[in-house]
Copies of this chain bind each other. A is one copy, B any other.
């Protein structure tokens, strides 16, 4: 069998939206989640730092025996996926490709992409969409306050709605027909984002589309375990992080381990 253990990496808790969708679709396969909570967020940092951190964390996951890696962080996927693929000898799946495929497959003609400052600056989404369907009109908008708002658990809040209106008004007046959530934190704001965008605009969530792509990839290629392990590694642990993590995941995290990447 090809797969025994999948690694899922994010700068923090956002990637748990991907893991949650994976756990719905993939039964009986061990999974290891890694959140770099001691250095989050990545979305405001430079490409060099994002690459360095992503590679360090990916190598840690390889040491845990994974045979596939999901970069469940759009910022890391946008900046570091080629480098990580070159450095590791296992398949590496990002969150961008699946989201882009789902967005263009709806027959969208004008796509809005939202993400962190680093993701939007990279132009990765716009380039990936144009590579498949050059005639599609793409407009991008960085939404830097969405991650801190999610981290505060303010999923459905007057403040979040006001911020969402500010970020999304340009996309609405530009007349987009599809909105691509280019950050794994954003599915948690789907309610507020949907309310602000109004009816008639498709919202594509890269967490769900990536999980579906991973499920297709491993289907029939692993031995189904009766009690698969899900282990969670974090570089920092606080009660707030854990509370948020369980809220995002919608289940208790049993095997939580703190790891010091510097001290190894």
- A contact set with B: CB distance below 8 Å: 37-39, 44-46, 48-49, 52, 117, 144-145, 148-149, 151-152, 158-159, 162-163, 166, 235-238, 240, 262
CB–CB A238/B45 < 8 A: yes
Bound form: Cα–Cα A166–B163 in Å = 15
Bound form: Cα–Cα A170–B152 in Å = 18
A44, A52, A163 interface centre (most CB from chain B within 10 Å): A44
CB–CB A45/B236 < 8 A: yes
Residues on the B chain within 8 Å of A262, using CB: 52, 262
Residues on the B chain within 8 Å of A39, using CB: 38-39
Nearest opposing residue in chain B for A41, CB measure: B41
CB–CB B152/A159 < 8 A: no
Bound form: Cα–Cα A145–B152 in Å = 8
Bound form: Cα–Cα A238–B42 in Å = 12
Residues on the B chain within 8 Å of A37, using CB: 45
A158 shortest CB reach to chain B, Å: 7
Residues on the B chain within 8 Å of A158, using CB: 162
Bound form: Cα–Cα A48–B238 in Å = 10
CB–CB B45/A38 < 8 A: yes
